């Protein structure tokens, strides 16, 4: 049984997940991470679980080996990405699961979470958005709050690597960016992630070509399924794309994405 943080079972751009034992893991964060950020993610994960969104139990913030993090129930399956990679015949099913779980999530109301529009406006003053002029930020301060109001549970990092098979069903993980708002905001972010987000650093060239092609096909199938189930239009999604780019750049700031996201934000201001 693992009691110290030795066995890595997952790794993201901003966190590392270690096994604690056969049933639990601890998600850890870089040194200097604001404790409030960790607490907010734990609270959002607990809220989603209470609302009946498929996930894993959150056991709350913790400290182990001098590291701050959150303890979660351990997943017992693979991500949707891995499932599709190992058996391409399951690709259509994976796309349906992706859309269906997003629809389910958006059926839940989350009034206690931050408004996604407020989150985006606040990010305009952070270093990743420093490339914008003051006039551009002023335009966004008017444009973003004018987007449709909503009270739905939003994930804002919803993609196939954050959905795992678990206990005969599926579990949505990584609630660090959770907000409330118009469901179309979350769909726009998923579209962005399957269009403009960079692949994991070090992805071999051949795999990169295959991943980009499959990601495009997944985006098409996911959008068709989601819109068919909800009646949401592509126009409703498109009006949130500028906000999605602000959120992506402000929250994560991947160096290779910065120029493209800023260009997209500027284009959105002009439209």
Looking at domain 80-270, its CATH architecture is Alpha-Beta Complex (3.90)
**Which residues of the chain does CATH 3.90.1200.10 include?**
80-270
Q: Is 241 exposed, middle or buried (0-12, 13-18, 19+ CB in 10 A)?
A: buried
State the pLDDT at residue 202: 67
What are φ and ψ of residue 180, in 5° steps?
-120, 155
* Closest of 217, 209, 212 to residue 98, by C-alpha: 217
- What secondary structure letter does DSSP report for 111? T
139, 269 Cβ separation under 8 angstroms: yes
Q: Going by DSSP bridges, is the β-strand pair 24-28/152-154 parallel, antiparallel, or unpaired?
A: unpaired
Q: What percent of the chain has pLDDT over 70?
A: 96
24-73 pLDDT, tens per residue?
Answer: 999 999 989 999 999 999 999 999 999 999 999 999 999 988 889 999 99
pTM above 0.85, yes or no: yes
112-160 pLDDT, tens per residue?
Answer: 999 999 999 999 999 999 999 999 999 999 999 999 999 999 999 999 9
DSSP string for residues in 141-171: HHHTTTSPP--EEE-S--SGGGEEEETTEEE
Structure tokens at 131: 């490339």
- The CATH number, out of the four listed (3.30.1370, 3.90.180, 3.30.200, 3.30.70), of the domain defined by the range 8-73: 3.30.200
- d(Cα 125, Cα 140) in Å, to the nearest integer? 11
176-217 pLDDT, tens per residue?
Answer: 999 999 999 999 999 999 999 987 766 777 677 777 889 999
Other Cβ atoms less than 10 A from the Cβ of 207: the count is: 13
Structure tokens at 149: 């109001």
Biggest alpha carbon distance in the chain?
A: 57
19, 9 Cβ separation under 8 angstroms: yes
State the pLDDT at residue 206: 65
**Which residues of the chain does CATH 3.30.200 include?**
8-73
């Amino acid at each position: 049984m693992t009691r110290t943080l030795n066995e890595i079972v997952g790794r993201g751009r901003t966190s590392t997940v270690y096994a604690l034992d056969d049933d639990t893991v601890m998600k850890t964060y870089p040194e200097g991470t604001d404790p409030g950020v960790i607490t907010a993610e734990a609270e959002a994960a607990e809220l989603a679980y209470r609302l009946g969104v498929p996930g894993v139990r959150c056991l709350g913030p913790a400290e182990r080996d001098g590291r701050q993090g959150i303890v979660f129930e351990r997943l017992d399956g693979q991500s949707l990405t891995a499932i599709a990679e190992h058996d391409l015949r399951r690709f259509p099913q994976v796309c349906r699961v992706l859309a269906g779980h997003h629809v389910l999530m958006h059926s839940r109301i989350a009034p206690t979470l931050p408004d996604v529009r407020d989150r985006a406006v606040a990010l305009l003053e952070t270093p990743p958005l420093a490339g914008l002029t003051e006039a551009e930020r002023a335009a966004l301060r008017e444009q973003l709050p004018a987007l449709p109001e909503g009270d739905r549970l939003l994930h804002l990092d919803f993609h196939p690597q954050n959905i795992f098979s678990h206990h005969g069903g599926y579990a949505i993980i990584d609630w660090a960016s959770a907000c409330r708002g118009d469901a179309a905001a979350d769909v726009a972010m998923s579209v962005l992630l399957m269009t403009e987000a960079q692949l994991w650093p070090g992805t071999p060239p051949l795999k990169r070509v295959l991943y980009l092609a499959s990601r495009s096909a997944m985006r098409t199938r996911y959008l068709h399924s989601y819109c068919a189930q909800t009646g949401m239009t592509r126009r409703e999604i498109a009006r949130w794309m500028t906000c999605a780019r602000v959120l992506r750049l402000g929250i994560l700031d991947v160096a290779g994405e910065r120029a493209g996201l800023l260009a997209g934000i500027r284009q959105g201001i002009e439209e």
